[in-house]
Structure 1
């Protein structure tokens, strides 16, 4: 199996608490007998919603028994036909997408073949009033038609060249069996939903674990080399690490400091084959709007001045920050939402990044002096949000590190603790007056990401208030020619980059720590909301 393997060395930046913890739970643990190889155990953080009804969750975890229409290549993360759609096509303006199902796809437990009727049925329940999925709004205004038993067509209200994103790793539509629903109703799904994936749902201990059995001779050709896989929901990272050390788990998710400890103890850290998340610090408010907002004067923020924004970026030693936050091998991100897998990517900007954004405190101080900082600004202090978000425990430390570097060059800061929901409400209501960590996960297609985080054209959106970027975003809504879309996106990213409109941080892979005694490798692209997928490719020793 192809996989990315990372070996860490001890660093002085590792927290003392982590070192003490490692000393207490790793001593002697590696000699414990290995778990039986007919069952794989994966220990992860608890889910936000523990339900068999996928559409009632936020979409953080797709059961390995269930499938979407479109797959993602394990090696590259690009779209492929490894899920239920054998092929697809679209009309010239991307308002109609047609999917042909694999003719041999079947549901488990003898619920019959997967047909267009199952897709229509699943679409109806996923777009109902109780749907909580992130991104489901893109499907709610869509019309779905069954052309024949194995062909469905989605007709969209507006062009969407990135429609595959909703049907792949993001998983806004998971296909359930209509035959099971007709026979057992919603109670059947709640008890044991039939799926078409290479695993069969066996049961759950609510709040504790879920178990799936491997399907032999699966219709897709997938062939897991183990009989069962169990997911255990374990809140404490230290407990997950102890499970790995004791041979009670094959794979676990861990924060970076404990990943380092596990690697020091001889375990293996695997990274996704493609980027799973992008991180940034975002300036908020329509600060690039020439005129003041109706409710507040966004131009009074210190970061409304491009020289201050550049100074903030020049003040940061990103290599040092990213090593502390994410460990070795994580690269700086030239422009948030720009990704080499999607249109609009600019290698030129990536090549210029060190020159334009590199650590230069003297340049930062010169820019501040030129801008008349702090005297020239009514709101000179920059509030930095200290917050937490599931899956991103480093966000609080990110704000603290940024504050330390800004202090060195003389930028006044204010540390503001607030929960994620409060901050998000303020950002999207344009009442925010702070700088906050933000993530893009799973990495959205560039055209979608740039609209959400920088323009007025997505819902929900943030909007810099920049007339040029908003005009380009408007063109993107109607332009369907691939070359022209690429050029528009490239221009948008260049404008964001050259105006220092944000504080880009990193492109981060998904990681999992596996037992070096039990697991040889595991290839996964990091394309899902949880980062993990392709469980059938776990390669045991």
Structure 2
């Protein structure tokens, strides 16, 4: 993803970039099956509470970090959705069907005729056209401030014809030519080039429809003629609706949307409780004041002993409450490939071979992370075990590569700067990396900054070695390989340039056969790993826990909760 923002310990992350050690991804809430099953009949009614940090936005036009997207995906249905237990499956969302022309350059979506916004207004194709143009237009006004506020997630729409014209500096064009509401229930999307994976993109939670009248005129609060800015109380077409305006730094409350076109949730509502950090949230959980949260640092094994571990890693049921499932996300070290000394491929190879990934996973994460042997994590189609052949701990090979780089035993190599964003627990990881590098003769010093400042430093190329994390917007290899390694990508923080990779990605997205497309991306991945532009360190896993009130509560590999299937044991049982 270009720059999804993640907030933990009040730290922002750009799109797929992850600032903290626990991260989030973006995946819709539908599922065809799977999970453990609670074993008893679901009860309708009741509510649950869910930990988030303070979101940057919950208006979908700029819902960019996982906290905001967590709320957005409860309020909105995008055109398509992912299965919770097989994210490679694309399921119907607001669209009941879709098709493309032969080369995948024109996509036609047929909307569910029963689709409505939570105020009862029918959802039409024009609502999607308006919503997507609003995201693309850099002059879009933030309804909360009344000032222009360009969306940082507009890159999701970059394949649509006319996107470049809308986003060009100084442009007066406000609508993408590739979007067309053929009729109320038919949306036609023309792309600037074939893109066989476009239905995955259409599942992003921020790409739902929005009602123009309420966005521009305000949302009625229910008390007289009073309205509130749309961004404070968004109206969507999802399974829940806002119960009241967002109480900043306190909570966001949503309730079941009785106008929802799909199967309605069991829950009456969800309260997103806002805390400053996971440790505070976990304390509240242990006090019985919260139903779902991250587990506090160093407390995973203790939590497993107290609450039991989920069998599938993603589903909470009483006595099986700790989630440790694999996430579609990777923690990695980047090198500045454009400047000395890391324009030297052998030096990059030496560093990646020197890192003891297993020690990091065991020491910092109690063995609940997996050493990364690929930039693509296991949930992504195209992952192959051991594909990044130098992402292993081999001190002797590291020393040889260092000598091949012209720095035998580190001689002649100046002290290097190892950068990371402050907060999020990264210093403990970097201390281990620092020791590993010293063992082969590379001396480093630390430099850290708050995440927004840190990202700016990376964008300006002011780094030698630095850390980042990436979580999938959608579970396809393109989302990693284009974002991190294409020379035109804004998220290519390593300044890696390989014309063969750029050309390969352009060719791969046009391949309509799924297996052939995945194979092409694997070929591109092999080309990238030979250059070692980055050093994959570990694959993230959940470290979350739910209360024993929750039954069949799913928190998927893309880091989104399914509030539609969960039920609580103490529900009143009112008719659904």
TM-score band, normalised by the shorter chain? 0.7 to 0.9
In structure 2, the residue matched to 1:85 is 95
Residue 234 of structure 1, CA deviation: 0.8
Task: State yes or no: 1:161 paired with 2:167.
Answer: no
In structure 2, the residue matched to 1:27 is none
TM-score normalised over the length of structure 1: 0.78
Residue 278 of structure 1, CA deviation: 1.5
Q: Counterparts of 1:93 and 1:472 in 2: how far apart (Å)?
A: 17
In structure 2, the residue matched to 1:294 is none
Question: Any conservation in 2 of the 1:285–1:427 contact (CA below 8 Å)?
Answer: no
3-state SS, counterpart of residue 492 of structure 1: helix
In structure 1, the residue matched to 2:360 is 321
Question: Any conservation in 2 of the 1:423–1:432 contact (CA below 8 Å)?
Answer: no
In structure 1, the residue matched to 2:536 is 504
In structure 1, the residue matched to 2:434 is 403
What are the equivalent positions in structure 2 for 1:12-23 lying under 5 Å apart? none
Question: Any conservation in 2 of the 1:70–1:83 contact (CA below 8 Å)?
Answer: yes
Q: Counterparts of 1:212 and 1:476 in 2: how far apart (Å)?
A: 41
Q: 1:381 aligns with which of 408, 415, 421?
A: 415
Distance change in 2, residues 1:366/1:440 (3 Å) = same
Q: 2:369 aligns with which of 330, 339, 362?
A: 330
| Structure 2 unmatched runs, 5+ | 1-43, 141-148, 158-162, 165-175, 220-226, 309-319, 570-576
Residue 485 of structure 1, CA deviation: 3.9
Task: State yes or no: 1:365 paired with 2:383.
Answer: no
Q: Which moved more, 1:395-404 or 1:178-187?
A: 178-187
Q: Counterparts of 1:309 and 1:518 in 2: how far apart (Å)?
A: 49
Q: Which has the higher helix share?
A: 1
What are the equivalent positions in structure 2 for 1:290-305 lying under 5 Å apart? 298=339, 300-301=340-341, 303-305=342-344
Task: State yes or no: 1:282 paired with 2:291.
Answer: no
Q: 1:112 aligns with which of 110, 115, 121?
A: 121
In structure 1, the residue matched to 2:105 is 95
Q: Counterparts of 2:132 and 2:306 in 1: how far apart (Å)?
A: 47
In structure 2, the residue matched to 1:244 is 285
| Structure 1 unmatched runs, 5+ | 1-35, 287-297
Question: Any conservation in 1 of the 2:336–2:343 contact (CA below 8 Å)?
Answer: no
What are the equivalent positions in structure 2 for 1:160-179 lying under 5 Å apart? 160-168=195-203, 170-178=204-212
Distance change in 2, residues 1:474/1:374 (3 Å) = farther
Q: 1:453 aligns with which of 484, 497, 503?
A: 484
3-state SS, counterpart of residue 523 of structure 1: strand
Question: Any conservation in 2 of the 1:338–1:493 contact (CA below 8 Å)?
Answer: no
Q: Counterparts of 1:382 and 1:537 in 2: how far apart (Å)?
A: 51
Residue 202 of structure 1, CA deviation: 0.3
Q: Counterparts of 2:232 and 2:404 in 1: how far apart (Å)?
A: 66
Q: 2:130 aligns with which of 100, 121, 134?
A: 121
Task: State yes or no: 1:465 paired with 2:497.
Answer: yes
Q: 2:237 aligns with which of 171, 175, 196?
A: 196
What are the equivalent positions in structure 2 for 1:177-216 lying under 5 Å apart? 177-178=211-212, 180=214, 187=228, 189-190=230-231, 192-203=233-244, 204-215=246-257
How many matched pairs?
Answer: 475
Residue 150 of structure 1, CA deviation: 0.9
